[in-house]
Amino acid sequence: MRVVIAEDAAMMREGLIRLLTDRGFEVCAAVADADALRSAVADTAPDVAIIDIRMPPTHTDEGLRAAIDIRRDHPAVGVLMFSQYVETRYATRLLADRPTGVGYLLKDRVADVAEFVDALTRVASGGTALDPEVVGHLMRAGRDTAGLASLTPRERAVLSLMAEGRSNAGIAAALVITPGVVEKHVANIFAKLGLPASDSDNRRVLAVLRHVSG
Amino acid sequence: MTRDNGLMTALRAPFTTLALRQAVFCVAGAVSAAAILAVAALVPALGVLVLWASGAMSREPAPAVAPVFLVVFPLTVALLVVLATPLGRALGAVHRTLADRLLDVRVDAPPTRPSKRIRALVSDGPGWRAFGYGLLKVPLAIPEGYGAFCYVFGVVNLSYPVWWPLFRNHPAGTTLGPVWGLTPFGAIGTRTFAGTFLIAAAGLAMLLVAPWLMRAGTALDLAAMRRLLGPRRLAERVRELQVSRARAIDDAATMMRTLERDLHDGAQVRLATLAMNLGMATEKLGVDGPPPDLAQARELVALAHRGAKDALADLRDLVRGIHPPVLDSGLGDALATLATSSAIPVAVRVELPDRPAPAIETIAYFCAAELLANAAKHSRAGRIRLGVGRSGERVMLTVEDDGVGGANPDGPGLAGLARRIAVVDGLMRVHSPAGGPTRVEIELPTHV
């Protein structure tokens, strides 16, 4: 799998290169600003780009704007936003057109190598990977608080994991339950929230996110 | 009884030290009024000179010097405008000192001029008010001058009968001119000994009136001084406080932003990388049994270890930037510690009888840190002298180096310092001619 890294902190960049190379990814380019990122993506056509949101010169949201451009100009490239803090508005902007091949993770998540690699792979293959923090924010800020309140704690946990973009198998592994139990929870959640049932993970994420974020 | 007391007071009034002091003050006032008139007369005098030189006052063709005067006249006017505020301030300072020494009346000095630039000279409010006092001094000096005249010539006139027998012992028949005694209503002449008593009586009257005249004159003068030479008026002060409050809020916001940026780009990155390396190391060590890749795991743990130490150092620097802990044990210790971390040798001298307010210590410390950093960056100096002392109710911080000079007081660094200092009504003076050396003086109140 081919990856482009855009991260202005050299230490973090080197660490990511090492981690990804070690895990068998091919790092095509590692750059430190948004312009270099745009041309690197155009030149190397990677499967996924890991993008720091704050980069030079203004250190505000260069990475996010570059990501939106990339999603428009290169729809096949997955985009994983990588940041030290969660900004719900950024997440909704990213998800605005289509919640496919997109991720938004806190940098802290890199500490859990397996999960990070899993999320990256998901994004690269057109899936979604939202940080639990982001999902939490979205759910708290969402409109259907009554619907969410009607869920059992277990169902809420499953809903959060769905919103993060995980498959049934992923949810089952995270909660240490069988996929069959997960399916039952999912069916209950969809019934309680009045969502149309869906087989595809992507469509399911879309429905869940639309529901929780309004 | 009270009437007797009143009479006695009136009779004694001329012979008190206060009367003498007032007399000296009034004479000084009259002298300075004359000086002011002389300076003011310079402009019309030069104007007349220009007219004369350009030939406007005669039928003769203009002399060759005319163009010179045409240049000199506007130059003089411009010079007077530029010099008005420093002259006014100097005059004010002299009169404040006189009032303090002679009349025991203390008028606080207005805030010092922020800089020596021409624009600051021309827009110097307190300077112009002091200049206004100078103009007002001319009418104010009239009762003062009269009072002083009555006082001095009252004594002189009173003494006429005493020295008459000493000097007027000519042989009989000698024709002598009259002897004149000066009074405010003209001169009195006499040719006889008895006449001197008339002059003495006039002298006594003058002497009795003089203290009240002088008192009225100085009272008016002091009222004018309080209004024009004292600190700024309330409205100006309010505006000044508004500006400095806005700056303080701005500064605080900027500081928070800088802090966020420092944490985001420093400790946070280091800790995230550290977590990543430990995560990778954990994988290399495996869940149980013999580790799949011990060598790599060791390397990653070593990397993480170094990262943790770097993160700690980062945080320590950051904490010191927020509030250096050593400052709690006083400015002396804090500055000595600061000096040891300077690239250029620094001689520190702190002489404070007691500790200023914590906020003032903090500001002084950060000013010193900034100035030392500036010197290290730009001055190419070999030595720096850092001094802190006390002058009245002000803390004086001085940083001097023997470098190349040319520091710009309006540059971002020094202007930022000036802003921070202004919040507590402090002042900064930068003396840094091209070629050096540089001397920066910072004046802070002891308490906020």
pTM for the model stands at 0.61
Chain A contact set for B266 (CB, 8 A): none
Task: Please tell me the distance from the alpha carbon of residue B236 to that of residue B234, in angstroms, as a whole number.
Answer: 5
Q: CA-CA distances (angstroms) from residue B41 to B37, B76, B86, B136, B232? A: 6, 12, 19, 15, 29
Chain B contact set for A11 (CB, 8 A): 269-270, 273, 307
| Cβ within 8 Å, pair A114-B272 | no
In eight-state DSSP terms, residue A8 is: S
The CA-to-CA distance between both ends of chain B, in Å, stands at: 53
B278 in reach of chain A (CB within 8 A): yes
Looking at the DSSP bridge assignments, the partners of residue B386 are B348, B399
Mean pLDDT (chain A) is 88
CB nearest to A113's CB, from B261, B264, B280: B280
Chain A contact set for B278 (CB, 8 A): 111
The distance of A118 to chain B (nearest Cα, Å) reads: 14
Best of A7, A8, A11, A117 to mutate (most B CBs within 10 Å, chain B): A11
Best of B260, B262, B271, B273 to mutate (most A CBs within 10 Å, chain A): B273
Quick one: how far is CA B107 from the chain centroid? 14
What dihedral angle (degrees, nearest 10) is formed by the CA atoms of B372, B241, B257, A65? -130
Chain B contact set for A112 (CB, 8 A): 279
Task: Please tell me the distance from the alpha carbon of residue A28 to that of residue A85, in angstroms, as a whole number.
Answer: 27
CB nearest to A12's CB, from B273, B279, B280: B273
Chain A contact set for B280 (CB, 8 A): 18-19, 22, 113
Q: Regarding beta strands B394-401 and B179-183, do their DSSP bridges make them parallel or antiparallel, or are they unpaired?
A: unpaired
| Element holding B65 (H helix, E strand) | none
> Across the 214 residues of chain A, what is the mean pLDDT of every consecutive 10-residue run?
94 94 95 95 95 90 92 93 86 79 92 92 92 85 75 90 88 92 90 77 73 66
CB nearest to B277's CB, from A15, A59, A108: A15
| Cβ within 8 Å, pair A110-B270 | no
Residue of A nearest to B275 (CA): A111
What pLDDT score was predicted for residue B57? Answer: 64
Task: Please tell me the distance from the alpha carbon of residue B21 to that of residue A2, in angstroms, as a whole number.
Answer: 95
Best of A12, A17, A54, A87 to mutate (most B CBs within 10 Å, chain B): A12
Nearest of B387, B394, B326, B393 to residue B351 by alpha carbon: B387
The CA-to-CA distance between both ends of chain A, in Å, stands at: 34
What pLDDT score was predicted for residue B126? Answer: 81
Residue of A nearest to B307 (CA): A11
CB nearest to B276's CB, from A19, A54, A84: A19
- Assigned token pair, B366: 């950060």
What pLDDT score was predicted for residue A20? Answer: 95
CB nearest to A108's CB, from B272, B277, B283: B272
Q: Regarding beta strands B438-445 and B427-431, do their DSSP bridges make them parallel or antiparallel, or are they unpaired?
A: antiparallel
Low-confidence stretches of chain B (pLDDT beneath 50): 1
Task: Please tell me the distance from the alpha carbon of residue B9 to that of residue B20, in angstroms, as a whole number.
Answer: 15
| Cβ within 8 Å, pair A11-B270 | yes
Chain A contact set for B308 (CB, 8 A): none
| Element holding A78 (H helix, E strand) | strand A78-83
Q: What is the pLDDT of residues B218-266, one digit of tens each?
A: 888 888 888 888 776 677 778 888 888 888 888 889 889 989 999 998 8
Chain B contact set for A22 (CB, 8 A): 280
Task: Please tell me the distance from the alpha carbon of residue B307 to that of residue A94, in angstroms, as a whole number.
Answer: 33
What pLDDT score was predicted for residue A193? Answer: 83
Question: What phi, psi does A154 have (nearest 5°)?
Answer: -60, -45
| Cβ within 8 Å, pair A54-B268 | no
B275 in reach of chain A (CB within 8 A): yes
Q: What is the pLDDT of residues A19-60, one digit of tens each?
A: 999 999 999 999 999 999 999 999 999 999 999 999 988 888
What pLDDT score was predicted for residue B64? Answer: 63
Nearest of A154, A146, A157, A158 to residue A194 by alpha carbon: A146
> Which residues fall within 8 angstroms of residue B129, CB to CB, at 6 or more apart?
B88, B110, B227, B228, B229
Nearest of B445, B441, B444 to residue B430 by alpha carbon: B441
Q: Does the ipTM exceed 0.90?
A: no
What pLDDT score was predicted for residue B108? Answer: 77
